[in-house]
Amino acid sequence: MAVLVADDVSRRYGETVALDGVSLTVEEGEIFGLVGPNGAGKTTLVRALTGTTVIEGRVELFGTSPQHVDRERIGLLPQSFDPPERLTVRELVEYYGGLYDDPEPTETLLKAVGVADRADTYYENLSGGQQRRTCVATTLVNDPDLLVLDEPTTGIDPAGRRTLWQLFEDLAAGGTTIFITTHYMEEAEQLADRVGLLADGSLAAVDTPANLVTTYGGESLLYVDGAFDESVLELFPYDCSLGEGRLTLRSVRPEAIGDVVGELDEAGFSYESLRWTEPDLEDVYLELTGQAVSEAGDADERTVSAVAGGERAR
């Protein structure tokens, strides 16, 4: 069953077209990841889906408009969410739980997001990552059937991010539908069943991460640095090129690397190093948006260095 439907959704701010005819559906229990450069319209889409901005087009949540849907069924984490700072973590989650008739037990939620050991700390004294986890806990107080999360893991360290991925996966396995925006490509790739790539207010592509990589990611590449001359190209029947002492072979499967090495040895070529890379969602992003992920926003250091390094070694 489609839990979330967007049909030809547009939003203009004066001359600016923030969303330009976006259509998508998200099925029950699915995790849908939305990625795209800054200004692509992600937050506007989240607001459109949750009925917090006026739109052209149609949005339905559980078969009804966002304005009429049962709020008990929805959990929303906006990108900027500033809860009262002079409450402790426990008080804060209890405060939001108090808005519902039958809230989830606070301790369970604190454990689930990994801030149980900070329960008595004032929100303002938490690290950015702990604050964000606490915010995630507040969206779960009503055990929502649909979770809409705008960059839920921004500022959270990689280990903490994984804790939340596991939590989201468990929720989805239990039937919760999750719509999540992120600028971490690894997050989209690992977590989302399907990924939508938003660029200039339009969905440039929607598919499973694996299909996106196959369609848009380009080929795997094997780089071999050594003392080569042109004759090395004759050794390999597949696509290869030579430049500045580097032999580049396209579309070599990892299991065939041994054969390449064997052929080089047999032909008497020596090499210094060998590196194999395969495309991933960052390459898809680059292909479809024309931007490296590091240019897209507050990418963390790991992402920046991976992109700055050219290719990612595996």
- Count residues near ligand ADP (CB under 6 A): 11
Q: Using CA atoms, how far apart are residues 97 and 150, in angstroms rounded to an integer?
A: 20
Q: Using CA atoms, how far apart are residues 225 and 242, in angstroms rounded to an integer?
A: 10
Pick the closer one to ligand ADP by CB: 278 or 300.
300
Which position has the token pair 């250091």?
A: 301
The string of DSSP codes covering 236-252 is -SSSEEEETTEEEEES-
Out of 13, 82, 86, 273, point to the residue binding ligand ADP (CB under 6 A).
13
Min dist. Cβ of residue 44 to ligand ADP (A): 3
Pick the closer one to ligand ADP by CB: 52 or 214.
52
Pick the closer one to ligand ADP by CB: 34 or 212.
34
Task: State yes or no: residue 199 binds ligand ADP (CB under 6 A).
Answer: no
Helix, strand, coil shares, percent, the chain, to 5: 35, 25, 35
Min dist. Cβ of residue 45 to ligand ADP (A): 7
Three-state SS at 90: helix
For ligand ADP, which stretch binds (CB under 6 A), given 12-20, 60-68, 208-216, 244-252? Answer: 12-20
In a 10 Å sphere around its CB, with 0-12 CB exposed, 13-18 middle and 19+ buried, how is residue 287 labelled? middle
For ligand ADP, which stretch binds (CB under 6 A), given 11-19, 21-29, 126-134, 234-242? Answer: 11-19
Min dist. Cβ of residue 192 to ligand ADP (A): 16
Pick the closer one to ligand ADP by CB: 10 or 142.
10
Pick the closer one to ligand ADP by CB: 41 or 97.
41
Distance of CA 110 to the CA centre of its chain: 23
In sequence order, the β-bridge partners of residue 246 are 225, 243
Spell out, one character per residue from 42 to 81, where the chain touches ligand ADP: x when CB under 6 A holds, - when not: xxx-------------------------------------
Q: Are 153 and 132 in contact (CB under 8 A)?
A: yes
Pick the closer one to ligand ADP by CB: 47 or 90.
47
Q: Are 169 and 31 in contact (CB under 8 A)?
A: yes
Q: How many of the other CB atoms lie within 10 Å of CB of 291? A: 17
Closest alpha carbon to 12 in 43, 56, 78: 56
Out of 18, 61, 69, 185, point to the residue binding ligand ADP (CB under 6 A).
18
φ and ψ of 105, to 5 deg: -60, 130
Spell out, one character per residue from 28 to 47, where the chain touches ligand ADP: x when CB under 6 A holds, - when not: --------x-xxxxxxx---
Specify whether the backbone of 106 is left (phi greater than 0), alpha (psi in -120 to 50) or beta. Answer: alpha
Pick the closer one to ligand ADP by CB: 240 or 284.
284
Pick the closer one to ligand ADP by CB: 34 or 126.
34
For ligand ADP, which stretch binds (CB under 6 A), given 13-21, 65-73, 114-122, 277-285? Answer: 13-21
> Which residues sit at the interface with ligand ADP, rule CB under 6 A?
13, 16, 18, 36, 38-44
